[in-house]
């Protein structure tokens, strides 16, 4: 391919090995697990289809989080999967969906340099894809789209592309074009490299590629049926003329998505997707930080914690903190300073992730993820660095989608409860809101699993017996205004719906989306935001 994006592999100074750190975003059932598996097989990290699936199934089969955590060996290792391809190490970060959905899912997207958005060809954009996409957009994460399941009946290709463009407000650039779908599937045409990928009798890709001299090449007549060829020529011409050309800068800024097609199940288009990640997706980029962005080639080691894996044994506060390395060459045993406390932490037994196991890491580079076992000293959002005075920014809190009132079973335990909620909100397990009226604290999460984790940890670690009761509010937004008088008036008018978050910032709680829309429309001088940067 000719258009390697700027600042990719070739621009790195010698010494720092190249990485592609990415996540797959999709709605359940679009084929994320199958595609992950095929990527790992292509990279030689696993050898048999079914291995990732087996792990996912083992996880899903256990409903309560404690059991999940007892399988920590499984869940930790499948959080980050690593494979090598063409001298590049690919770090694939899992964004759990289904009932595992939590703020961690969102925050994981702050630790990647790019994402692959998998769409089911028959379904198009689905709600969870959209939600995850919005988080990518917050950080301008570049996205490659993979339209999966073209071996089955799907929707019209133009319709799918237009839906992506309209719903996500993105330019789309088809890089390939399917030659029919489902029963009429005859292959995949590479619009840029001018190659035809052909299926075998079972619609599987077994390596049959025919290079041609463009769509007018008469050789195509012998490779696909007459009607299919006619349709391909017509559609491809329209597509090339009608959609944006590939622009690496727009892609890097998250304004354009190159669209690939394939069938993860039948191995179609998987190698092309890896090539796209290799050629187009960015190497580790400078990361937003205060006082200045941190360049991956900066010699001092630095990184930030984006996820916490709670402990296997609730009696001991041991957990694994996931750190995204942003600069320098990390070596085992290094001392890194923790932002906030400024205290040095010796990282003696970091975990580097591989597809099948976790291994103690001797060294790691920007773009890699390291697991750091700790006893509760590290928190989500922390910066760890060899130097001092750097803080990575932009790790957000997300507006909760489920709110619950915390009710103590034994009212004498208020102090313990407050301490526990303080710790757990710092750690990123839940968000805690103190209502302006009433004594009971309100906790907010984006996924049900976080509530189960909360109750279980309150009971086991803090010996606090608490119940979660429905709250009259369903959603919350941080509010701000340039006009202090307006803010004060708004807070007074909506006293019953006001709360403050962990940092004392004002939050408006609404009974439903309709009310939120209504109130925000009537108060144009107030900004209602669904994310807030952690401080």
Nearer to ligand G4P, 57 or 492 (CB): 57
Which of 19, 22, 23, 33 is the binder for ligand G4P (CB under 6 A)? 33
Distance of alpha carbon 323 from the chain centroid:
15
> CA end-to-end span of the chain, whole Å?
42
**Distance of closest approach, residue 353 Cβ to ligand G4P, in angstroms:** 19
| Of 273, 242, 268, residue with least CA distance to 185 | 268
- Under rule CB under 6 A, residue 34 binds ligand G4P: yes
**Secondary structure (DSSP) of 171-208:** EEEESEEEE--GGG--EEEETTTTEEEEE-TTS-EEEE
Q: How many residues line the site for ligand G4P (CB under 6 A)?
A: 16
Report the C-alpha gap between 306 and 106 in whole angstroms.
10
Q: For residue 529, give the 3-state DSSP assignment.
A: strand
* Distant-in-sequence, close-in-space partners of 151: CB < 8 Å, separation ≥ 6: 181, 182, 185, 199, 203, 263, 265, 266, 268
Q: Which residues pair with 303 in a beta bridge?
A: 325, 384
Which of 139, 152, 358, 460 is the binder for ligand G4P (CB under 6 A)? 152
- Under rule CB under 6 A, residue 95 binds ligand G4P: no
Site string for ligand G4P, 413-452 (x = CB under 6 A): ----------------------------------------
Which of 5, 9, 28, 297 is the binder for ligand G4P (CB under 6 A)? 28
- Under rule CB under 6 A, residue 148 binds ligand G4P: yes
Q: Is the peptide bond before 291 cis (omega within 30 degrees of 0)?
A: yes
- Under rule CB under 6 A, residue 178 binds ligand G4P: no
Site string for ligand G4P, 256-285 (x = CB under 6 A): -------xxxx-------------------
Report the C-alpha gap between 467 and 13 in whole angstroms.
56
494 annotated as ligand-binding: no
31 annotated as ligand-binding: yes
Which of 149, 324, 404, 477 is the binder for ligand G4P (CB under 6 A)? 149
| Of 205, 168, 203, 169, residue with least CA distance to 190 | 205
**Distance of closest approach, residue 390 Cβ to ligand G4P, in angstroms:** 37
Nearer to ligand G4P, 266 or 324 (CB): 266
27 annotated as ligand-binding: yes
- Is 175 within 8 Å of 166 (Cβ atoms)? no
- Under rule CB under 6 A, residue 29 binds ligand G4P: yes
Which of 21, 26, 145, 298 is the binder for ligand G4P (CB under 6 A)? 26
Q: Which stretch binds ligand G4P (CB under 6 A): 29-37, 275-283, 334-342, 483-491?
A: 29-37
Nearer to ligand G4P, 128 or 337 (CB): 128
Nearer to ligand G4P, 105 or 263 (CB): 263
- Under rule CB under 6 A, residue 351 binds ligand G4P: no
Length of the chain: 535
User: Six-digit token pair at 131?
Assistant: 């939600």
Nearer to ligand G4P, 148 or 327 (CB): 148
Hey, what's the torsion of the CAs at 172, 178, 182, 185, to 10 degrees? Answer: 180
- Is 449 within 8 Å of 100 (Cβ atoms)? yes
Q: For 357, left (φ over 0), alpha (ψ -120 to 50), or beta?
A: beta
Nearer to ligand G4P, 56 or 296 (CB): 56
Taking CA 177 as the corner, what is the angle to CA 172 and CA 182, rounded to the nearest 5 degrees?
Answer: 115
- Under rule CB under 6 A, residue 31 binds ligand G4P: yes
Site string for ligand G4P, 221-240 (x = CB under 6 A): --------------------
**Distance of closest approach, residue 28 Cβ to ligand G4P, in angstroms:** 4
Q: Which residues pair with 533 in a beta bridge?
A: 396
- Under rule CB under 6 A, residue 145 binds ligand G4P: no
Distance of alpha carbon 247 from the chain centroid:
23
Strands 114-120 and 143-148: parallel
Nearer to ligand G4P, 123 or 139 (CB): 123
32 annotated as ligand-binding: yes
28 annotated as ligand-binding: yes
502 annotated as ligand-binding: no
Report the C-alpha gap between 176 and 236 in whole angstroms.
9
97 annotated as ligand-binding: yes
Which of 19, 32, 379, 534 is the binder for ligand G4P (CB under 6 A)? 32
Q: Which stretch binds ligand G4P (CB under 6 A): 148-156, 208-216, 304-312, 439-447?
A: 148-156
Q: Which stretch binds ligand G4P (CB under 6 A): 31-39, 137-145, 370-378, 462-470?
A: 31-39
Report the C-alpha gap between 16 and 329 in whole angstroms.
8
CA-based Rg of the chain, rounded to a whole angstrom?
Answer: 25
- Under rule CB under 6 A, residue 151 binds ligand G4P: yes
Distance of alpha carbon 41 from the chain centroid:
22
**Residues in the site for ligand G4P, rule: CB under 6 A?**
26, 28-34, 148-149, 151-152, 263-266
């Amino acid at each position: 391919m000719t258009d390697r994006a700027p600042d990719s592999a070739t621009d790195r100074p010698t010494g720092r090995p190249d990485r592609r750190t990415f996540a797959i975003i999709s709605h359940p059932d679009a084929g994320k697990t199958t595609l992950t598996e095929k990527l790992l097989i292509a990279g030689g990290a696993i050898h048999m289809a079914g291995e990732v699936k087996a792990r996912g199934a083992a996880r899903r089969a256990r409903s309560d989080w404690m059991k999940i955590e007892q399988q920590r060996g499984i869940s930790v290792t499948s959080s980050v999967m690593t494979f090598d391809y063409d001298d590049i190490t690919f770090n694939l970060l899992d964004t759990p969906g289904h009932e595992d959905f939590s703020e961690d899912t969102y925050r994981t997207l702050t630790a990647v340099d790019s994402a692959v958005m998998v769409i089911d060809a028959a379904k198009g954009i689905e709600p969870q894809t959209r939600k995850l996409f919005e988080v990518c957009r917050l950080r301008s994460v570049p996205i490659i789209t993979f339209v999966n399941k073209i071996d089955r009946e799907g929707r019209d290709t133009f319709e799918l592309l237009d839906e992506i463009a309209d719903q996500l407000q993105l330019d789309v650039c088809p890089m390939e074009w399917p030659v029919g779908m489902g029963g009429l599937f005859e292959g995949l045409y590479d619009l840029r490299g001018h190659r035809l990928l052909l299926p075998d009798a079972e619609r599987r890709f077994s390596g049959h590629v025919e290079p041609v001299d463009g769509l007018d090449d008469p050789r195509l007549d012998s490779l696909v049926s007459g009607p299919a060829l006619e349709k391909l020529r017509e559609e491809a011409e329209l597509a090339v003329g009608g959609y944006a050309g590939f622009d690496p800068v727009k892609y890097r800024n998250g304004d354009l998505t190159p669209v690939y097609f394939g069938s993860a199940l039948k191995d179609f288009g998987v190698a092309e997707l890896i090539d796209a990640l290799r050629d187009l997706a960015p190497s580790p980029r400078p990361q937003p930080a205060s006082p200045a962005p941190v360049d991956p080639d900066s010699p001092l080691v630095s990184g930030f914690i984006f996820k916490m894996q709670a402990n296997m044994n609730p009696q001991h506060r041991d957990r694994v903190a996931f750190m995204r390395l942003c600069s320098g060459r990390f070596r085992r045993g290094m001392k890194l300073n923790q932002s906030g406390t400024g205290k040095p932490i010796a990282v003696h037994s970091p975990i580097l992730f591989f597809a099948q196991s976790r291994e103690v890491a001797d060294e790691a580079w920007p773009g890699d993820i390291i697991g750091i076992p700790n006893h509760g000293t590290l928190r989500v959002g922390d910066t760890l660095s060899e130097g001092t005075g750097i803080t990575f920014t932009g790790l957000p809190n997300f507006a909760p989608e489920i709110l619950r009132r915390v009710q103590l079973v034994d009212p004498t335990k208020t102090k313990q409860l407050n301490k526990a909620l303080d710790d757990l909100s710092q750690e990123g397990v839940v968000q805690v809101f103190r209502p302006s009226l009433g004594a009971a604290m309100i906790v907010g999460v984006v996924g049900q699993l976080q509530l189960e984790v909360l109750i279980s940890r309150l009971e086991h670690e803090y010996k606090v017996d608490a119940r979660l009761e429905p709250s009259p509010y369903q959603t919350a937004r941080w509010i701000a205004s340039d006009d202090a008088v307006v803010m004060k008036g708004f807070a007074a008018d909506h006293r019953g719906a006001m709360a403050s978050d962990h940092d004392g910032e004002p939050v408006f709680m609404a009974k439903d989306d309709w009310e939120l829309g209504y109130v925000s429309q009537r108060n144009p001088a107030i900004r209602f935001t669904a994310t807030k940067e952690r401080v």
